[in-house]
Amino acid sequence: MQIADRGTVLDAEAQATYRRNGFYLAAGLLPEKVMTELSAAVAGLLDQDGPRRITERDGVTVRSVYGPHQTDPVVSRVCRRPELAGAAMEILGAEVYIHQSKVNVKAAFVGDQWEWHQDYIYWLNDDGIRTPDLVNVAVFLDEVNEFNGPLTFVPGSHNEGVLAATDKQGLPVGYEDAPHWVSTLTADEKYRVRHEVIARLAAENGMVSPKGPAGSVLFFHPNILHASSPNISPFGRTTLITVYNGVSNPATKAGNPRPEFLAARDTTPVRLTSSS
């Protein structure tokens, strides 16, 4: 394992905060040069048509681009940096591979919502990942503020396990002709947590929206209850999210698996790139 070969990214207090709240926000982890290169690479990815690119209901505005670490060398290098993959190893205490990566876009004025949900139920039901030993690592490519649709968490909700959820059948309005797996990627969540469950947990634990400048890195647990509102502002909100999974916890679903850019079958451990 490469964890012992480098300095610690997240100290004991940061890791304790992550385990207690289900998330941790770190500022200034990535060098400015890396952020400049990453932003330029992502801008090019948004222009590339194909099944990896998901639009909003208008069919025009880009919502997400999946699997960029598989197609873009800059994104691939960034996803393997110690500040991201190394921190994921620290959180999970294991070697990791990249189960999924995506660029999520909240375009100014028109970026749509993400309803309340947990991530792990998708990876459990749709990919066959048996335990929630994964971590989401989100790099802010823009400033995230209270106006441009920040993620909203219920702290500590990851400790509840998989919450009761409804499985919405069929494809959402505006996506009727899309492949079946698109139902997991739109503003209409496939697995919805009941409102009374959300209300109870929010009353017990409160809600918080981590905000920060471009270059901030947000680590969050796959079982934390979260959502994000539409972007009502003139400020875009673009985020690179990499999902790291322990190499001993692979996807096991054999029949009709999701595309490789949504659920990687290659569990080769990440080899860390230079932090310079």
Is 217 a domain residue?
yes
Model's pTM, two decimal places? 0.91
Per-residue pLDDT at 6: 56
Annotate 108-121 with b (16+ C-beta within 10 A) or e (fewer): eeebbebbbbbbbb
Q: How many CB atoms lie within 10 A of CB 234?
A: 9
Dump pLDDT digits (tens) for 199-232: 999 999 999 999 999 999 999 999 999 999 999 9
User: What's the angle, vertex CA 29, arms to CA 68 and CA 52, rounded to 5?
Assistant: 10
If you average pLDDT over every residue of the chain, what do you get? Answer: 91
With respect to residue 5, please indicate whether it lies within any of the assigned structural domains. no
CATH of the domain at 50: 2.60.120.620
Q: Is 225:118 a contact under the CB 8 Å cutoff?
A: yes
User: Is residue 155 included in any domain, yes or no?
Assistant: yes
In-domain check, residue 270: no
Q: Considering its fold, how many domains does the chain have in total?
A: 1
User: Taking a C-beta distance cutoff of 8 angstroms, is the pair 224, 154 a contact?
Assistant: yes
235 to 114, 148, 213: CA distances (angstroms): 18, 6, 13
For residue 146, tell me if it sits in a domain. yes
Q: 207: which 2 tokens?
A: 């809600």
Has residue 64 been placed in a domain?
yes
What pLDDT is recorded for position 179? 58
| Separation between Cα atoms, residue 153 and residue 145, nearest integer Å | 14
Phi and psi angles of residue 177, each rounded to the nearest 5 degrees, phi first: -100, 10
Q: Is residue 54 part of a domain?
A: yes
Per-residue pLDDT of the chain (276 residues; tens, 9 = 90+): 344 445 799 999 999 999 999 999 999 899 999 999 999 999 999 999 999 999 998 999 999 999 999 999 999 999 999 999 999 999 999 999 999 999 999 999 999 999 999 999 999 989 999 999 999 999 999 999 999 999 999 999 999 999 977 665 554 444 445 555 455 555 567 888 999 999 999 999 999 999 999 999 999 999 999 999 999 999 999 999 999 999 999 999 988 899 999 999 999 999 999 766
Are 138 and 106 in contact by the 8 Å Cβ rule? The answer is no
103 phi, psi to nearest 5 deg: -105, 115
Q: How far is CA 267 from CA 47, 226, 264, in A?
A: 29, 27, 7
The whole-number pLDDT of residue 189 equals 73
* Residue linked to tokens 């916890």: 249
Domain that holds residue 25: 13-246
Query: Do the domain assignments include residue 8?
Result: no
Q: How far is CA 187 from CA 112, 174, 228, 229, in A?
A: 7, 11, 10, 10
